[in-house]
Structure formats: structure tokens, C-alpha cells
Structure 1
Amino acid sequence: MSSTRTRTKSKPVTHVYDSDSDADSDSDSTRPVKRRKTKNECSGSSGNACQMEPGKAPVHPASIHVIANTKAIRSSLLDWYSGVHESRGMPWRKPFDATLDVQGRSQRAYEVWISEIMLQQTQVATVIPYYNRWMNKYPTITDLANSDIESVNAIWKGLGYYSRAARLLSGAKKIVEEYNGLFPDTAKDMMANVPGIGRYSAGAISSIAYNHCEPVLDGNVNRLLSRVLALHANPKAKSTLDILWDGAAAMVKSADEPGNINQALIELGATVCKVRDPDCQSCPLNAYCAAYLETQGHQPEEQDIEELCTLCEPAIPGEVTGVTRYPMKVERKRAREEVDVVNVVEWLSPQNRRYFLLVRRPDTGLLAGLHEFPSRTNVKDSDTPSKLHSIGQDILRDMLVNPPQTYHPASPKRQQPKASPSPKTLQITKMKPAGDVLHIFSHIRKTYRVQWILLEGGDPNSEEPPGLKADYASLLIDSGKSTATKTNTRKSKNKVDERKESKLAVRPVLKRLALRWVKYEDVEDANIGTGIMKVWKKVNELWVDK
């Protein structure tokens, strides 16, 4: 006699309740425990397939987390997608063209690659104009490979997460040099050899451009499948991700249109199966969604369960019920807080022309090739004027060939020297705090403590700003993984985290940086990042009445 009973279905559902599921489940961490169901362990009418009492682990078969009925699901999904695929006007979304030659498919892969990297952590509406400008500037991968980080950052400016742009440039150069300009045509090759391409991006490019049956699992698909499979487990755990990747793989296994299926899953997650207020009534997969069926009181017939799920965790007291319970919510690790002292150094020429000192970051690493104002990072006790002045003067000594004398702010106890220095002598005439600017990174809550430093003096017959040291070097935070971050046991050649900036190590590294003076009117066009643009606007408030 079979250990499970055949259940009667009023509707087709995605999960099966037998031990002959064809899903891959070879991970020890996901292997369920064999056990027979006791009376009424998985019954009830509260709208939960297995009532999730706070503090008590749910009891249900492991097979609930396996995608079945893939043919019916694909049909419903593709029927829906055919009516919405053009609704958001994405220029990179095109039907698969089987008539394209090798060059044509490589070009298509390039277009998908650019769009996928831009879409990381960024909304579609924001990406569209950037994508169009990018493709006008770099219509082919060879055009991109022939560019430089300065030009690439200029196109990327305002999109954030600038390391993405740097990886696109380095990836293009590598493809042109090592693949004769033809984009790798397998997901494995992409992940192994193209900087910035991980499993998700490789799956998207491979399926959309080459029609290969490779799965995708971005945030939208993760949420969608977590609900389809009613998976209430730690979303960051390897065992959870293995189940979701298996589900994504089942969706495209031996499919005729894997690219459309993947794009449909992404689109459904983004527009219907949203984080809050999902539109379950209009979802084409509601008949197959275990989370939705829970809310409708659909229950399997009582049965013997040979293999119980050991992944799903108890409901949290006060946790929201219904579909939005999935994926399981976890407490976010609090971002570390840091204070950087940012010095907006201005030199006022004898002809009253204004110049500002900018530092260009290295071509690789965090914020590659971007310009910023001279800074000291992660400074402790930076809230006193004397500390700020000291940091500012240290900066000037480090950067200028002939730094000015020590600045003594006017006060009742200490006055500036009565004798005016020679007009040829460079001097600090003002050091003034401009206030704080908050800038949030994915892993750091950064406060920029801004001060304005005004320099005057020099040759009255020259417009040349003060000389800058050619060998200036500064301690920068390395862009490697934080040593405090738990290391993934499954290492790959490509260590890029696609969906967020890599967590920074706290280890400083000495880097040589380029310095230059920029005219006031050219500062905003000098490839400065979003955070530094906030600093620039903040310090401009000091000059409103000037």
C-alpha cells in the first residue's frame, strides 16, 4: 500500500503530495524527515494550509515546496505575458529572433546585459532614459570597450552603485580582447569570465538572447516563488535558495520559450505579486499558488505524510497573515554608522575666479573613477571646530606643494596677525562648517560632515591655482568583502553580489589618487557621485547671499 493517498483537487495546484516528485532535491540541508501525519495536524479553516501558530513549527509535506504542473503554469503565464510585455515600454524587451546569426545574438546579449546590470537595485522607469542614452553612446560592446571610466561614469551619473558601470567597462574590454567581441553564449562561460555577471544575470542573458533553458531568481521571482510554494523559511539560507532555484529551473526545463517565461516571472513579480498589496485576484497563477489557496481555505484531503518539511519556521507573534507572509521576514542587520569629514577646498584667484579641489578615485574598486572633495573617512569625535580645522589643515599639507600656514580663527582670546601677509603668500582666510549630509548606502549609514575652506593668495598676475602634489596617496577602504561577513561556503570565481553593493571591508589600503582644480561652474559636470552632489548643494547654501 502506498504511503500517501491520492488527493482530490478542485483546482490544479503547484504542489504535489507524493514522494515521486521529479524536482531536484539533492541537498542534505533540504532532505525532509520521514514521519507519518497524526490526526488533524494539517487541517483547519483559518486560511492557512497548515495553521501557523506563533512559536509552533508548521506541519506539512515537503512536496508542497516543489513545482508541479509546469505545463499548465507556463501556459497561463505566457498567455498573461503576451498582453503586458510592452506595457511598460522597456526598449530592451524584444521577442526572441531565431534567425539572428552569431553576431546578431551577441549584440542581443549585450543589450540584455546592459539592461540587467542597470536594473539592479533600480526601478524600470529610472533605467529607461539611462539605457537609451547608453545605447546611443555605446551601441556595441566594441564601442564600450574602447571607452574609459571617466566617460562611462558620465553616462552613469545619477544612477548610483557606480561599481556596476566599472564592471560593465571591464567586462566589455575582456570580451573584446578574449572573445573577439562576441558575447559568451553559455551561462557557465558568462559567470566564469565576465566581471559582474552572477547566476541571475547569466540566466537572464542566456535565456533571453540565446533561448537557453537557464533559470532566473531576482528579488521579484524570489518573492513570487516563495508565495507559489508557501515557503516560510529564512530567505537568505542556502537551503531556502536551493528550493527557489529548483523551482525557477523547473519553470524553464525543456521549455520552448525560456526567455519569455523568465521575463514573465520577473514582470509578474514586479507588477502583480508585489511586496505589499499583491493583486491576487488578477494573477494568472492564483490557481497554482499555495499561499493564495491558503487564504481561500483550500485544503488537501487528510493523508499520510512520509516526508515532512523541516525548513518552514514558526509564525512570528504579530506577523502579518495571508499571502504577504511570504517570503518570511527577517530582521535586517542594522547598517553601521560612519562620519566622514568632507573638505570643500576653494581657491579664490586674484581675478576673483573660483576654483575647487577635487580628488579622483582609482579606476578600480568602490566608486571607481569618480571625483570627490578631499575627505577623511570614519572619523571619531569630529564634532568640534578644532578637530575639523585640524583635519582640514592636514588635508592641505598632504595635497598642496606649498601649503598655507596654520589657520587661527578669530576669537576674543586669539586674533589673526595684525600684519597682512604678502599677497603672494597662500593663506586660509575662512574655515566654516556647512553642516551634515546624510547618505545611505546598502550597508552604511554615512554622515558627511562638511566644512568649507577658502584659500587666497598667490601670484597676483597669474590665474594658476596652488600647485598639487603628483604623488598624493590616501588610505581608502578596500572594496573587498568584509572580514566580519560570514563567508559563503560555495565559492565561485566571480565573487560579485549582483543585487547590492559588496559589503566593504574595514581594512584601509593606501591608494595613489589624482588631484585637480576645477572651476566653480564645472564642478557638477566633473563626474561626482550622488552623495558628493548632496555635499556640493549643502555647501552652496553658505553662498546664497554671497
Structure 2
Amino acid sequence: MTRHRFSTEEITLCRRSLLVWYDKHKRKLPWRDWHDTDSNIVAYRVLVSELMLQQTQVATVIRYYETWMNQWPNVNSLASASEDDVLKCWAGLGYYNRARNLHKCAQLIVNEYNGEFPRDLDIMINRLPGVGRYTAGAVSSIAFSLPNPILDGNVIRVLSRLRCIGSDLKKKSTTDHLWSLAADLVCPERPGDLNQSLMELGATICTPQKPKCTECPIQKQCLAYEQQIHQSSTDIEQCSTNCTFCLKPTEIDSSRSLVEHYPRKKVKTKQREETSFVLVLYRLNSQLEFLMLKQKQSNLLSGLWSFFEVISPPDFDQMNERKRKTFLIEQIQHMSCNIDDIKLAGQCRHLFSHIDKQYIIYYALDDLSIPTAQTQWFTEEQVLTSAISTAMKKVFNVALPQIKLRAFNGKKVGLESIHFPG
């Protein structure tokens, strides 16, 4: 068990080496590029960046972060924003509960804490929506210089390799031990920078595959690297036959380096495949307009505007086009068109985190439907700029050219190519 902890000397060496390396090699990222001495502003910037970075790559987040901060530079401006505007700014990042939680956080901080971020870790975790132990640790250490640890995917990887933690990450005993290791390393003088150095090391050097061990500032404190030098699973030193953290020789895959065995690989959950019928309803007044539905809070894209979507029945492959259209009419209430008005536009695919989604897209002229509290007519420009998911923009991209051809009697009016990111 001793080998799975840091000695006092190792803690000192790791802190010193990490901070020197971080000061020299840290990436220039917009959420680090602040000149404010107001810790409340810093806390807000950290909170926004950390929630955006959950499940999302840095390169993708940068553009969204800069747009967000230009629109809502502080917690008060975000608190006064509408949910529609917040979701519109977030559209394309996915995991939309993150945006709603940010909005709720801002409103709660303004209404209950007079616009000042709470500094107490327990208050952050228990009162701020969407803020867990990791996010609270990041905000408190970076903005308020409080010596609280963090543990995200990058830090887990670094610590697992430093101390050879090869046990199942789903076990509470494993995560508890990793949190205690992170707490050991936090530097009281520069807790925010130390935490960020661990994240930075995991993101740029201690990567999941092909880690750059020769460039690592704490290579000499890394037990996984020490094992790799031996280049043999039979040389792995075991604490004891009952050690719950050590990898067993039978768990070593010779096709990978020993360092890459830490942390233990998670078993990936296969995305389920799902097919939906989508109906794009349009009308032509002075310009084309499209009827859209606001998704319920319980839906996958809750709070966003969407075209009319129906999960296809299990036997949809055996259904002919007329049966599919009949099924659509039976399921969708907000329409006044008949079966002969509905035309097939094509298909598109979108990958969600847990769903491999296939959309079969139809369109129909519907100039009689009256908008309700849940529906609204959108112009083409509004579809492009409103709180609409990337998946629905892909659907629109397929349907729009054919709708224009039909609406304008085959004349190629405004059929310039459209491209949506993602």
C-alpha cells in the first residue's frame, strides 16, 4: 500500500517540478487570459469554462467561450439573460443541461448571495446547480486560492500512473484514494496553478495513448514509467497478493506500453441505434417560414426548438412510404396537411453521446396551422440563429433546397449552399 501513496519528499519534488513546468509550458487559453483582480469575476470565468469543457474538447470550447463572455461578461449579465438566448449561444455544444445549470447558478448567486460567489466548498457543491466536487475545487482553488483538490479525467490519468493505481475506477475505494492523492499534492501557496498543472500535464504530455514520458517534468516520481523501463509484466512489483490497487500480470496487454495500462480502461458503452421520422412544415407568405416545436424539459434536447420528430416503430423497415406518412400524421397533432402533401427529402445521421441517430426527413406545405404556446413560425434566418440543435440544423440542411424548389415552382431561388458546423 505504501507505494500507492506519495512520500513527503515526493510531494515536494512533484509540486516544485510541476509549477516550474507549468509556468513555462502552459497553453494560452482564453479562460486563463484574465487581467482582473476581482476574484468574483475570475470565479465566473472558471465556472463557465469548466462546465463548457465537460465532455467537450478544448478546441471546440474556445469559440463558444469567447462568444459567451462577450455576451455575458459577468454573473449579473448572465442572470438577467433569457433561457432562449442562453440555449441559442450554447447550440452545438451538446449536453444542454450544462447551459441551463450555468444560467440557474448565475440567478441563484445574484438572488441569494448578492452577486458574490460563495467560497465555501460545501455550499458550492450543495447549492449551485451542476457544480460537483471537481468544479467546486477548480473554482475555489483558481479564483480564491483555497487549497482544494480537483479530480477530472486528466488528473485521474496522471495520478494513476504516478502511483500505479490499476483498480476499477467505478469502485468508491479507487476514487476515494485518487481524491486523497490529489489533496496531498495541492500546493498551499499556489493551489490553482498546481491543479491546472496536473490538468495541463494530462492534456498535453500524459496522454491516453503514446504519452510523452521523456518530456514529463515528474518522470522520476512516476511508478508506471519505472515499470515500463523493465519492459516486462513479470517484473511488476506487487505490494501483496491482496493489494486492490496493483494490476496483476494477467491483466497486462503486451501490445500496449505499461504506462498506457493506467488508469484501467473503462468498458465503453455502445451507442444505441435509433431512427426517427422528422417532418419539416413550411408556409410561404412574403418569405418562407418553418413551424417549430419547443422541446419539453424531459426530452433529449429539452428547451430547444425542433422540427416535428417521431421515433420510428420497430417495423419501420417493412413500412412503405404511405404507411410511414400515415404514421406521421397519426403522431403529429400540429399540422393541417394531408398525406399527399408530405414529400420525402432524404436522410441524415447525427451522433449523440449515447445514441447513433438516423433521421428520415419529410417536408410538407402547411399554411393553415396557427402557432401555440409550444409552436412558432421561424424564418430561414431565425432557424440559423435560434436555439436549435446541430442535429436539427442538419435536418434543415437536407430539407431546405427541396422546399425552395417546390415552393418556387422549380425555380432555383436562393439555393446557395448552406453549411452548418458539426
Bin for the TM-score computed over the shorter chain: 0.7 to 0.9
The code of the aligned residue for 2:23 comes to: S
Q: In the alignment, does 2:217 pair up with 1:278?
A: no
Give the RMSD, CA atoms, in angstroms. Answer: 2.7
Q: In the alignment, does 2:322 pair up with 1:386?
A: yes
2:280 counterpart SS class:
strand
Offset at residue 531 of structure 1 (A): 1.0
Q: Check conservation: 1:207, 1:214, Cα contact below 8 A.
A: yes
> What is aligned with 2:56?
122
Offset at residue 308 of structure 1 (A): 4.6
Partners of 2:299 and 2:139 lie apart in 1 by 25
The match for 1:438 among 341, 349, 367 is 349
Offset at residue 164 of structure 1 (A): 1.0
Offset at residue 126 of structure 1 (A): 2.2
Partners of 1:260 and 1:95 lie apart in 2 by 14
Offset at residue 307 of structure 1 (A): 8.6
> What is aligned with 1:109?
43
Aligned-residue sequence identity (percent) comes to 37
Partners of 2:401 and 2:252 lie apart in 1 by 48
Q: Which has the higher helix share?
A: 2
| Greater CA drift, 387-396 or 70-79 | 387-396
1:540 counterpart SS class:
helix
> What is aligned with 2:370?
468
Give the gaps of 5 or more residues in structure 1. Answer: 1-61, 409-427, 456-464, 471-512
Q: Check conservation: 1:96, 1:208, Cα contact below 8 A.
A: no
In structure 2, the CA distance between the partners of 1:191 and 1:379, relative to structure 1 (3 Å rule), is farther
Q: In the alignment, does 2:15 pair up with 1:74?
A: yes
Partners of 1:356 and 1:95 lie apart in 2 by 42
> What is aligned with 2:32?
93
The code of the aligned residue for 1:259 comes to: G
> What is aligned with 1:145?
79
The match for 1:528 among 374, 388, 392 is 388
> What is aligned with 2:416?
none
Q: Check conservation: 1:163, 1:365, Cα contact below 8 A.
A: no
What is the 5 A alignment of 1:337-376?
A: 337-349=273-285, 353-362=287-296, 366-376=300-310
TM-score w.r.t. the length of structure 2 is 0.86
Deviations 1:162-210 (Å, cap 9, x if unpaired)? 2211110111111111111111112211111000101110010010011
Offset at residue 280 of structure 1 (A): 0.3
Partners of 1:449 and 1:287 lie apart in 2 by 56
Q: Check conservation: 2:34, 2:42, Cα contact below 8 A.
A: no
Partners of 1:240 and 1:198 lie apart in 2 by 18
> What is aligned with 2:198?
265
Offset at residue 78 of structure 1 (A): 0.6
> What is aligned with 2:258?
322
In structure 2, the CA distance between the partners of 1:108 and 1:317, relative to structure 1 (3 Å rule), is closer
Partners of 1:466 and 1:537 lie apart in 2 by 24
TM-score w.r.t. the length of structure 1 is 0.68
> What is aligned with 1:188?
122
The match for 1:453 among 348, 356, 364 is 364
In structure 2, the CA distance between the partners of 1:95 and 1:157, relative to structure 1 (3 Å rule), is closer
In structure 2, the CA distance between the partners of 1:211 and 1:432, relative to structure 1 (3 Å rule), is same
**Number of paired residues?**
398
In structure 2, the CA distance between the partners of 1:238 and 1:118, relative to structure 1 (3 Å rule), is same
> What is aligned with 2:243?
309
2:348 counterpart SS class:
strand
Which is greater in Rg? 1
Offset at residue 440 of structure 1 (A): 1.7
Offset at residue 125 of structure 1 (A): 2.4
Deviations 1:101-140 (Å, cap 9, x if unpaired)? xxx2222111110111111122222222222221111111
Q: In the alignment, does 2:274 pair up with 1:333?
A: no
Partners of 1:191 and 1:91 lie apart in 2 by 25
> What is aligned with 1:416?
none
The code of the aligned residue for 2:359 comes to: Y
2:316 counterpart SS class:
coil
Offset at residue 316 of structure 1 (A): 5.2
The code of the aligned residue for 1:467 comes to: S
> What is aligned with 1:477?
none
In structure 2, the CA distance between the partners of 1:75 and 1:119, relative to structure 1 (3 Å rule), is same
Partners of 1:469 and 1:174 lie apart in 2 by 33
Partners of 1:178 and 1:202 lie apart in 2 by 18
In structure 2, the CA distance between the partners of 1:276 and 1:407, relative to structure 1 (3 Å rule), is same
Q: Check conservation: 2:252, 2:258, Cα contact below 8 A.
A: no
Offset at residue 340 of structure 1 (A): 1.8
In structure 2, the CA distance between the partners of 1:526 and 1:387, relative to structure 1 (3 Å rule), is farther
